[in-house]
């Protein structure tokens, strides 16, 4: 259980200057340069991270390659990997509150959500893949009698992991855990504005017994350290979550270097569709408000386009407004806050740019639309709703990644499907209806990696997450994720 006193003690912990984690130990960036870490809670610096660059990536990749070639992890019995990863999960759980508070100081997510979604979820993910890995079998091919065809599953080698700042531990673990479980060595490039928890994660992995060089972390800027990882000739795959433009760059880097595999989990503009026969409009409104505004809308699957059937539009909007204005925005380390800070001053400015554009294009502001709590020095934004949004407006097309909801109304199911799919993205969606047939038709009709029915969000590690269309390709989570980190090798044996 978490309590306010412990949180208040942990929030004062000295963090200081954090170094890179390479070959099982902390090292400075070769340039000696560092980046300030500014908390979005109050706009003040509270730590620094090493500003890693190409030379540091080279060093980390060399360390990972050496560890991989040595085989003490890559060729270890799955049962041994399982034991170490299980210990790793236990350590993450043991340090969960420390990790959660550190992460919140870095990125501003409300602590109640961060605690569950970050360390606890990461620990669960690590445990899931630890338990799975000694249940992955090779195959015997149905060949002719004089031949034995064996299909082996082998780790890829060195995997680069690049993640965003909204949930670095949770999203990091979705890649780190299956990659390690399968026997790979990894180099993680955390997001520059939220690196601290992933550095700590690497230390906990070492404490759990992961051999040196298997888990390396190089902090630094995406355009420098991230690019160097993407272009590296000795990296076998990149597992990425982040924005579309950076995803495209990673594909180019692969083409320009060694054709490494690239798995992309990108953004979304997910439709949340409320039919007039939704089982409980009030509950749908509360869940929909949470589905866009928690973590200040910085959730890849956020339901950022709300489609409401005309006959219940006014009633639903009343309930939505009530649920939204009830959300308390404030210090993310206060257990009483429902919504914390926007991750950085830059992101807040970007969000306000979307607000200005929506108003200019003729959408009607229902609530919010402004920075609040400016006296704290932090980056806080009021949950914002625009209605009368049309398909052509920026708010209907582009991902804000902030607490801004665009609302449209529809008359028929056909119109709802057309509007829902009128986007280049295809990450998530939801449908609210009491009609089983409508629900199933919508699940088939919506082009997205997940369709929620009578809920928004909510999933566990057993189901895959990933996008259709420009929301990317490759799936995180579930047993399917292991496939990304293994390769198939055929042995064709002549039996004479």
Annotated catalytic residues are 265
Residues 188-211: b if buried by 16+ CB within 10 A, e if exposed = bbbbbbbbbbbbbbbbbbbebebb
Cα–Cα distance, 21 to 27 (Å, whole number) = 6
- Structure-token pair, residue 69: 């070639």
Toward ligand NAD, which CB reaches closer, 100 or 171?
171
Find the helix packing angle between 168-181 and 121-132, rounded to 10°. 10
Interaction of residue 266 with ligand NAD, rule CB under 6 A: yes
Window of 71-79, 110-118, 240-248, 329-337 that interacts with ligand NAD by CB under 6 A: 240-248
For the CB of residue 165, give the shortest distance to ligand NAD in the complex, in Å.
Answer: 5
Cα–Cα distance, 38 to 45 (Å, whole number) = 4
Residue 57: C-alpha distances to residues 63, 229, 235, 421 (Å)? 10, 6, 10, 40
Interaction of residue 399 with ligand NAD, rule CB under 6 A: yes
For residue 362, how many other CB atoms are within 10 A of its CB? 11
CA atoms within 13 A on the CB side of 27: 19
- Structure-token pair, residue 67: 């560890």
One residue of 4, 25, 36, 223 binding ligand NAD per CB under 6 A: 223
One residue of 24, 230, 330, 426 binding ligand NAD per CB under 6 A: 230
Interaction of residue 249 with ligand NAD, rule CB under 6 A: yes
One residue of 119, 191, 368, 426 binding ligand NAD per CB under 6 A: 191
Interaction of residue 481 with ligand NAD, rule CB under 6 A: no
One residue of 38, 99, 181, 246 binding ligand NAD per CB under 6 A: 246
Toward ligand NAD, which CB reaches closer, 82 or 475?
475
Interaction of residue 20 with ligand NAD, rule CB under 6 A: no
Toward ligand NAD, which CB reaches closer, 222 or 368?
222
Kindly state the number of chain residues that form the binding site for ligand NAD, as judged by CB under 6 A.
29
* Furthest C-alpha separation in the chain: 82
**CB of 189 within 8 A of CB of 222?**
yes
Toward ligand NAD, which CB reaches closer, 19 or 81?
19
Interaction of residue 267 with ligand NAD, rule CB under 6 A: yes
Contact letters for ligand NAD, residues 284-303 (x by CB under 6 A): ----------------x---
Instruction: Pinpoint the alpha helices (H) of 15-134.
Output: 54-70, 78-94, 96-107, 111-115, 121-132
**CB of 179 within 8 A of CB of 187?**
no
Residues 411-430 that bind ligand NAD (CB under 6 A): 427
For residue 419, how many other CB atoms are within 10 A of its CB? 19
Interaction of residue 161 with ligand NAD, rule CB under 6 A: no
**CB of 157 within 8 A of CB of 183?**
no
Interaction of residue 232 with ligand NAD, rule CB under 6 A: no
Toward ligand NAD, which CB reaches closer, 163 or 204?
163
Toward ligand NAD, which CB reaches closer, 163 or 185?
163
For the CB of residue 471, give the shortest distance to ligand NAD in the complex, in Å.
Answer: 6
**CB of 236 within 8 A of CB of 54?**
no
One residue of 21, 293, 316, 401 binding ligand NAD per CB under 6 A: 401
Contact letters for ligand NAD, residues 96-125 (x by CB under 6 A): ------------------------------
Interaction of residue 165 with ligand NAD, rule CB under 6 A: yes
Window of 141-149, 226-234, 254-262, 374-382 that interacts with ligand NAD by CB under 6 A: 226-234
Using alpha carbons only, what angle is made at residue 152 by residues 149 and 158, rounded to the nearest 5 degrees? Answer: 150
One residue of 34, 63, 216, 241 binding ligand NAD per CB under 6 A: 241
For the CB of residue 462, give the shortest distance to ligand NAD in the complex, in Å.
Answer: 16
For the CB of residue 390, give the shortest distance to ligand NAD in the complex, in Å.
Answer: 23
**CB of 379 within 8 A of CB of 348?**
yes
For the CB of residue 344, give the shortest distance to ligand NAD in the complex, in Å.
Answer: 9
Residue 131: C-alpha distances to residues 36, 75, 84, 85, 152 (Å)? 39, 17, 11, 9, 20
Interaction of residue 192 with ligand NAD, rule CB under 6 A: yes
Contacts 24+ apart (CB under 8 A), 98-102: 98/10, 98/13, 98/200, 99/169, 99/197, 99/200, 99/201, 100/2, 101/7, 101/10, 101/11, 101/13, 101/333, 102/10, 102/13, 102/15, 102/196, 102/197, 102/200
Toward ligand NAD, which CB reaches closer, 100 or 218?
218
Residue that has been written with the tokens 């928890």 in this structure:
197
Interaction of residue 263 with ligand NAD, rule CB under 6 A: no
**Which residues contact ligand NAD by CB under 6 A?**
162-166, 171, 189, 191-192, 222-223, 226-227, 230, 241-243, 246, 249, 265-268, 300, 399, 401, 427, 465, 467
């Amino acid at each position: 259980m978490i309590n306010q006193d412990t949180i208040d003690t942990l929030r004062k912990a000295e963090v200081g200057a954090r170094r890179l984690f390479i070959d099982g130990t902390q090292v400075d960036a070769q340039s000696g340069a560092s980046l300030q870490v500014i908390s979005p809670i109050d706009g003040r610096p509270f730590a620094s991270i090493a500003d890693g660059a190409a030379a540091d990536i080279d060093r980390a990749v060399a360390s990972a390659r050496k560890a991989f070639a040595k085989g003490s992890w890559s060729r270890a019995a799955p049962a041994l990997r399982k034991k170490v990863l299980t210990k790793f999960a236990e350590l993450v759980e043991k340090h969960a509150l420390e990790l959660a508070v550190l992460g919140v100081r870095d990125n501003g997510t409300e602590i109640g959500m961060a605690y569950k979604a970050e360390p606890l979820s990461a620990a669960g993910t690590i445990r899931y893949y630890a338990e799975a890995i000694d249940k992955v079998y090779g195959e015997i091919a149905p060949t002719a009698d004089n031949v034995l065809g064996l299909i082996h599953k082998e780790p890829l080698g060195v995997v680069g992991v690049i993640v965003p700042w909204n949930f670095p531990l949770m999203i990091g673990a979705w890649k780190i855990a299956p990659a390690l479980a399968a026997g790979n060595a990894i180099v993680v490039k955390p997001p520059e504005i939220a690196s601290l928890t992933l550095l700590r994660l690497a230390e906990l992995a070492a404490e759990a017994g992961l051999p040196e060089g298997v888990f390396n972390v190089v902090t630094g800027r995406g355009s420098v350290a991230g690019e160097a990882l993407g272009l590296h000739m000795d990296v076998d795959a990149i597992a990425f979550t982040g924005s579309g433009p950076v995803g495209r760059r990673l594909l180019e880097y692969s083409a320009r270097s060694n054709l490494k595999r690239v798995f992309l989990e990108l953004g979304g503009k997910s439709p949340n569709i409320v039919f007039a026969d939704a089982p409980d409009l009030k509950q749908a409104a509360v869940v929909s408000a949470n589905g866009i505004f928690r973590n200040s809308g910085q959730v890849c699957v956020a339901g950022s386009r709300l489609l409401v059937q005309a006959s219940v539009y006014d009633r639903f909007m009343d309930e939505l407004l009530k649920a939204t204005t009830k959300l308390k925005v404030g210090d993310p380390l206060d257990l009483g806050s429902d919504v914390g800070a926007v991750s950085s001053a830059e992101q807040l400015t970007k969000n306000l740019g979307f607000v200005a554009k929506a108003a200019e294009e003729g959408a009607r502001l229902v609530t919010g639309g402004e920075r609040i709590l400016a006296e704290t020095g932090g980056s806080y934004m009021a949950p914002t709703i625009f209605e009368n949004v049309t398909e052509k407006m920026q708010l209907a097309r582009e991902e804000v990644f902030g607490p801004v909801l665009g609302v449209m109304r529809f008359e028929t199911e056909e119109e709802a499907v057309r509007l829902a799919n009128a986007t280049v993205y295809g990450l998530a969606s939801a449908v609210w209806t009491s009609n089983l047939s409508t629900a199933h038709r919508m699940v088939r009709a919506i082009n997205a990696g997940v369709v929620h029915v009578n809920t928004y969000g909510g999933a566990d590690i057993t189901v895959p997450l990933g996008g259709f269309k420009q929301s990317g390709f490759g799936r995180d989570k579930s047993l399917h994720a292991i496939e990304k980190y293994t390769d198939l090798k055929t042995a064709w044996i002549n039996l004479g």
